[in-house]
Amino acid sequence: MTSPQMNAQVMTDMEVRAHADHHASLRLWLRLLSCTTRMEDTIRQRLREQFGITLPRFDLMAQLEREPQGLSMSELSRRMMVTGGNVTSIVDQLEKEQLVQRQTQIADRRSFTVRLTDAGRTAFAAMAQAHEGWVVALLSPLNESEQAQLHHLLGTLKSRNPTPTQEKT
């Protein structure tokens, strides 16, 4: 490829090939986007209809469910990759419905620990179970081996791209 014999014809072929590859990448991206958006819209709609909850609220509860000892507002902000004011608003709503609670810190009185309440944990368990069922059903066109392949390919994609944290900061 890099030999001195490389000539104008080869360059042209390479360019044609590059264009074809670019279009293939673009088609792949559009397919990736449409598959994901379609699943996400379905899940979002069902969460709203069946549980009266939005995806960000569900995500916040999911974060808390993984951390029984609770998380600070700023840590929630970091993990959900949204700014602080938005976390305040989501926690306000969930607290009003008694699904989460703010606990004052002894060590640092500026900060709160946010936790799921018992009611919140119970409610989340039901939602998470339904959510998992939807995901399993939506991915069921792929068998176990195909899902593993897809997981692997996406892992390659993810690990070699900059993280959102790096980009956002």
Partner DNA sequence: TATTGTTATACTCTATAACTATA
Partner DNA sequence: TATAGTTATAGAGTATAACAATA
Q: Cα separation of 67 and 111, whole Å?
A: 17
Tokens 């998992």 identify what position?
Answer: 132
- Residue 25 is a binding residue for a second copy (CB under 8 A): yes
Cβ neighbourhood burial of 36 (10 Å; 0-12, 13-18, 19+): exposed
**CB distance 101 to 114 below 8 Å:** yes
- Residue 151 is a binding residue for a second copy (CB under 8 A): yes
- Residue number with CB closer to a second copy (74 or 147): 147
Per CB under 7 A, contacts with DNA among 42-61 are 54-57
- Residue 89 is a binding residue for DNA (CB under 7 A): yes
Binding positions for a second copy, rule: CB under 8 A: 21-22, 24-29, 31-42, 45, 132-133, 135-136, 138-139, 141-142, 144, 146-151, 153-161, 163-164, 167-168
